[in-house]
Amino acid sequence: MRVPLPLAHLVAFTLAFGPAPAAAHAKLVDSEPPAEGVAKGVPETVVLRFDGRVERRYGRFDLVDAAGNRTPLSRVEREGAPETEVAVRLPRSLPPGSHRLEWSVVSRDGHRVEGVLAFTVPR
């Protein structure tokens, strides 16, 4: 089943109910490396932390370089990780510089949420 784009969802929801209540769907609240931040060394994974549970199986993750080349990434199962977290494995020996992770997950209310996480790998 196709889930609506988050923007369409938000617009429809806002029209129907006024400003969306906080409980609607999962929102990215934290990450490692942090958004717009500098990684500690060369990171092997990115961890995304949400304010609600997410269906990790339906996540899609792409690393996009400055030239727009896209590398699909897979999820990493981490034992004991809360259901509000998703971890993805980065390519080995990620070069220094800025990187963009385009992510998309399905929150437990069935809505797909997506975003971009930009971070820098230090020299």
Of the candidate spans 22-30, 44-52, 60-68, 95-103, the one that interacts with Cu ion by CB under 5 A turns out to be 22-30
Q: Which residue is nearest to Cu ion (CB)?
A: 25
Burial class of residue 72 (count of CB atoms within 10 Å of its CB; 0-12, 13-18, 19+): exposed
Q: Choose between 15 and 66: whose C-beta lies nearer to Cu ion.
A: 15
Structure tokens at 96: 């220094």
DSSP string, 100-123: EEEEEEEETTS-EEEEEEEEEE--
Q: By CB under 5 A, is residue 109 in contact with Cu ion?
A: yes
Q: By CB under 5 A, is residue 24 in contact with Cu ion?
A: yes
The binding site for Cu ion (CB under 5 A) comprises 24-25, 109, 111
